[in-house]
Amino acid sequence: MEAVSTNRAFGGVQGVYRHASSATGTDMTFSVYVPPHAEGAKLPVVWYLSGLTCTHANVTEKGEFRAACAELGLIFVAPDTSPRGESVPDDPAGAYDFGLGAGFYVDASEEPYAANYRMWSYVTDELPALIAEHFPADMARQSIMGHSMGGHGALTIGLSCPDRFKAVSAFAPIVAPGRVPWGEKALTGYLGTDRSGWRKHDAVALIEDGARVPALLVDQGGADQFLADQLKPELLEQACADAGIDLTLRIQPGYDHSYYFISTFMADHLRWHAVRLG
């Protein structure tokens, strides 16, 4: 693992790191904020998954999480959203919603994407092992959150691994990718046309099929340009009501899909996570 940069912030260290990934077959870059802590202490870990077109840098530079993480004693990990490199296949038309920057947190089975687009394995297996080895992380206390496509990833991973993640939250998540254009394009391209194979990567379908977590926190901007066509939080609301999951869904008037929205409510989410991480 190579340190690309490290900077002092709020008494802790904000680092950006690069390593050769066996999951994706490429170099991968990620960021980690480690708050101030006593020597030898092990700290809980919050995973943040970013949205379409993003890298680790978007939340690292715009998320405004460090002050809260320093106060609460939380390690904050932000992976990239897809494999990258000259040999990595992209959307044939160069669209923003598939290929580079749009891994959708799945392990692709369709060619030519299967060799590199293994973001599920990267986020749930390879990168956690690296974090446990190189940082003062208490891997018995992990939580996960994300934005948009990353909100989809946080919900599906959290619902699939409820014993690992003590808290799950999202900003403007794609809650039912099998029912919206972004998700239909991505899941078809990565997983094929058999929709039954999509269900484990669809939060609403996972809940319908029996996946459970004690509680979810979702913030959604009321002025989000993608709200009606791509996000559809009402589908998650209905699924949680039917399943008895305690969903806190907050529609924030006037807020859009940007990091102005995310940074406004980031500390709320981190405090919610900290309570559940103990």
- Which residues carry out catalysis? 148, 224, 257
Residue type, 227: L
**What is the C-alpha to C-alpha distance for residues 137 and 96, in angstroms, rounded to an integer?**
34
**What is the C-alpha to C-alpha distance for residues 238 and 273, in angstroms, rounded to an integer?**
23
* Residue 119 near residue 104 (C-beta atoms within 8 A): yes
